[in-house]
């Protein structure tokens, strides 16, 4: 059950990343008419989000294959980087699509939303690991 919820959350994050980055690319191009909004939600984003949900599982499997995840002895560091990256990119994409006014404040020359996204991704990765991978840590500690 926890594994299905974990995969579902990862797939939601990947779908959000795909939808927000493509929406952002089209918004910055000459095809801005594609990203028309209804109630401040781009229609193109919704369509791509739904398509992203369909391909998210395949995207996860491809990245596992590319990084030889199943062949690694210690999978935890790569797993943490992957989950953190999903959280980080989903937050950045969401801010860039829905709240572009938040991209202007800066902290020492770096956009503040990047700092917050990095900190949130770190905290969310730790929380995510405590919820979904506590069993692994307790079983290895007892050995």
Q: Answer yes or no: is 27 within a domain.
A: yes
Instruction: Print the domain residue range for 62.
Output: 2-134
Decide if 121 contacts 87 (C-beta within 8 A): yes
- Report how far residue 85's alpha carbon sits from residue 56's, in angstroms, rounded to the nearest whole number: 15
- Report how far residue 28's alpha carbon sits from residue 23's, in angstroms, rounded to the nearest whole number: 9
How many domains does the structure of the chain reveal? 1
Place of tokens 């690694």: 72
List per-residue pLDDT tens for the chain, 143 residues long.
Answer: 777 888 888 999 999 999 999 988 888 777 777 777 777 788 888 999 999 999 999 998 898 888 888 888 887 778 888 889 999 999 999 998 888 888 888 888 888 999 999 999 999 999 988 888 765 555 555 55
Q: Answer yes or no: is 143 within a domain.
A: no
Q: Answer yes or no: is 89 within a domain.
A: yes
Q: Answer yes or no: is 142 within a domain.
A: no
Q: Answer yes or no: is 39 within a domain.
A: yes
Q: Answer yes or no: is 19 within a domain.
A: yes
């Amino acid at each position: 059950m926890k594994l299905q919820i974990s995969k579902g959350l990862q797939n939601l994050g990947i779908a959000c990343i795909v939808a927000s980055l493509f929406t952002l690319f089209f918004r910055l191009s000459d095809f801005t008419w594609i990203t028309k909004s209804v109630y401040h939600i781009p229609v193109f984003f919704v369509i791509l989000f739904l398509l992203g949900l369909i391909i998210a599982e395949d995207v996860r499997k491809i990245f596992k294959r590319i990084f030889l995840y199943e062949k690694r002895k210690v999978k935890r560091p790569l797993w943490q980087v992957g989950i953190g990256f999903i959280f980080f990119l989903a937050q950045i994409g969401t801010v860039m699509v829905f709240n572009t006014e938040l991209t202007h404040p800066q902290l020492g020359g770096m956009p503040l939303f990047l700092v917050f996204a990095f900190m949130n991704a770190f905290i969310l990765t730790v929380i995510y690991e405590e919820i979904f991978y506590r069993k692994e840590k307790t079983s290895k500690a007892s050995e």
